[in-house]
Chains A and B, each alone.
Chain A
């Protein structure tokens, strides 16, 4: 079952299963390491709900949920 970034809560782990094509935001996010198959964990959520901070590839990145729209992810147990 696939989810997207709006489903994420603090402490959840997830894996990217599909990235949107022809999407400039998605291209930049991939260059930052959010490629297909990447696993990450939600480490922080800003007090107003967005942006969120995720740990991936040994570092942490804050991004807006809306700008990662189109990424399909699966939440890992």
Chain B
């Protein structure tokens, strides 16, 4: 229980969501934070350390809770940590209950449950400055008497009260107080007894009751002489039993009584400035206009601001590859492993970083200013009917730029079930990496035959496909797949304020770090696996043989296809990946895809960004083509089956685009889902359901096309 020089005491920060816990935690532990996971659930374990007067303290930020009676798996983990019941969890040595002075009653309800934990405890009161400004200052000395634990006022982002809190923590650990707390505290018992006596018709002074309960014989002596007092006194003592954990009514009655004793001033908040701002920002017309503008800025920033940075990263890794390539010329396998496998793999991780950092910058600013909650308030109705809620809007919107920051942004959703549903459909939103596929195929098959208008409609339609499919998917997930209690959608609209820049940067930094560290490892490993499949089997003779084959071909063919392009196509064809592509050709035949398309799909498994260059390789044009390449468009239009039928009709092309709109050809997304759900089950589920949907849709479109009449 007490801190010794050999063990580092564990201090847990506990409180309601929005209690100011995270700001306090950041201020206490600074940059020493570690982000981990609790086994089996999606909540993160955030811990850090600090040193006070030469001793080290371990600090853990328990996820926000409204009650010690958990409703979801995530809440259960948080309560288990407090109770020390969790797997491999050590019980904290001390609890710091973080209470919001501006919202005391609800926080006291939770405190009353925490107080019954048999652990040393401190109450850290946040937002005392705000409560005072609202004309509702808190009498901290009176509060301390009611809570029965040391009460420390903190204004974490200004550093106020931190050292007093650290000193109180050290003091409580050295010598835990033995005072009765919460509903049992002396002050609360005085309250209950004076009420009880008053009901019996006796008006006894509170001081006298307090002295009596503290053991002063005066009161007892007085009652001895007057039995009409003694009976209710004994009864009152006997009736001082704790209500059940779930007895919200009794606990709130206590909380309300404490509040009336310790808070002077109006009982309802007077949020004049915030109310004025809200009159515009949640207005039925202006509110929606402002909302649309804010979302436009956020989306545009992810989409366009990240673009040059991503190109820069790609350029840098390209240059790195160019530099390393000649150094490793002595070993072609090693050369390809390092350049095509490792450098490309690491590059494909880091390329997502700009979008993640930009999105989390905006989320942290919107959250810190109080607008994020308004966004959820405005959008809830729109998303609620299909089983999501207002908080899903930003994750889903960002997924149109890239699903990875979108999936990571779903952590703004406190309800684990809705959060999981959002994560599972986010990859269906049409991300920017799908755009080249649409442009290539629309340019090759739609625009030449149907004109620019239909090309535009097709492009818009492709962006809608995922959104339209997501609605029934969510409905089915909510009915059948997702388990766990449904929680009511609740939300608090905080007071508007300037974001705390320290918190903003810490959010941005820690999200970036988590992505690179955990998702990055998975992505690099998978990149290397795909590289190996596309490279092997290959011996030094393979290339010589292929060169001889090329030399023996007709000059006509040689004029059309360079030796380099011929080699890269043949090497792909004879690789394991190409062989698998050929083997699965029959499965893709109903969709009108031959082995070349099937191999492209396999090559694009790590990232759909490589679709266009893979098609380039397979169609003898080399990997340097882009989606505007007229040669590639030509090649796709001219490609035939062995019997001379055209490979792609406009129907097949639409089927191919829809396939890429719906499939999950992005292992970075899968790695992000693994990271965020802390389980391989969900990325696997997403991959299987999206690939199945994509396949069925492609087959359906091709078959419809054949039924309607082949080529249109």
Contact = CB atoms under 8 A, between A and B. Distances in A.
Interface in A48-63: 48-51, 53, 55, 57-63
Contacts of B106: 32-33, 57, 59
A28 interface: yes
Given A50-B384, A58-B105, A32 B489 contact: no
A48 B285 CA distance: 10
A36 interface: yes
Interface in B463-502: 485-493
A62 B378 contact: no
Contacts of B278: 44
B492 to A, nearest CB: 6
Given A50-B380, A53-B493, A62-B492, A32 B66 contact: yes
A62 B249 CA distance: 20
Nearest to A46: B377
Counting contact residues on chain A (CB < 8 A from B), the size range is 20 to 34
Interface string B246-269: 101100100110010001000111
Nearest to A28: B488
Given A46-B282, A62-B490, A64-B489, A33 B268 contact: no
A8 interface: no
A32 B490 contact: yes
A13 to B, nearest CB: 11
Given A46-B282, A63-B488, A58 B259 contact: yes
Given A31-B109, A35-B249, A62 B267 contact: no
Task: Classify the secondary structure of A's interface with B.
Answer: mixed
B452 interface: no
Nearest to B494: A60
A62 B377 contact: yes
B282 A63 contact: no
Contacts of B488: 25, 28-29, 63-64, 67-68
B522 to A, nearest CB: 36
Contacts of B259: 58
B35 interface: no
A47 interface: yes
B212 interface: no
Nearest to B285: A47
B48 to A, nearest CB: 29
B169 interface: no
A69 B136 CA distance: 33
Contact of A50 (B71, B284, B381): B381
A53 B122 CA distance: 32
Contacts of B486: 24-25
B103 interface: yes
B627 to A, nearest CB: 39
B46 interface: no
B283 interface: yes
Contacts of A55: 268-269
Contact of B377 (A32, A33, A37, A53): A53
A31 B79 CA distance: 15
Given A30-B249, A31-B248, A47-B283, A57 B105 contact: yes
B268 A41 contact: yes
B162 interface: no
B109 A60 contact: no
Counting contact residues on chain B (CB < 8 A from A), the size range is 35 or more
Contacts of B491: 51, 61-63
B623 interface: no
Contacts of A4: none
Nearest to A66: B384
A58 B67 contact: no
B489 A33 contact: no
Contact of A58 (B104, B282, B287, B487): B104
B485 A31 contact: no
A25 B492 CA distance: 17
A49 B71 contact: no
Interface centre among B67, B252, B275, B485 (most CB of A within 10 A): B252
A67 to B, nearest CB: 4
A25 B490 CA distance: 10
A60 B256 contact: no
Contact of B382 (A24, A48, A60, A67): A48
A32 B67 CA distance: 9
A55 B248 CA distance: 18
Given A58-B268, A63-B489, A35 B377 contact: no
A26 B545 CA distance: 75
Contacts of B283: 47
A59 B130 CA distance: 13
A27 B282 contact: no
B288 interface: yes
Interface string A3-29: 000000000000000000000110111
B102 interface: yes
Contacts of A51: 377, 380-381, 390, 489, 491
Contacts of B282: 44, 46-47
Nearest to B381: A48
B248 to A, nearest CB: 4
A72 to B, nearest CB: 15
Contacts of B493: 44, 53, 60, 62
Chain A to chain B: the 7 pairs with minimum beta-carbon distance, closest first? A48-B381, A47-B284, A62-B491, A30-B248, A59-B103, A67-B488, A57-B105
13 contacts: A27-B71, A28-B487, A29-B488, A30-B249, A32-B66, A35-B248, A46-B381, A47-B288, A51-B491, A55-B268, A60-B492, A62-B377, A67-B488
Given A41-B268, A58-B263, 16 more contacts: A24-B485, A27-B248, A28-B67, A31-B66, A32-B106, A33-B106, A47-B287, A58-B267, A60-B493, A61-B490, A61-B491, A62-B492, A63-B491, A64-B384, A64-B488, A67-B488
Interface of A: 24-25, 27-33, 35-38, 41, 43-44, 46-51, 53, 55, 57-64, 67-68
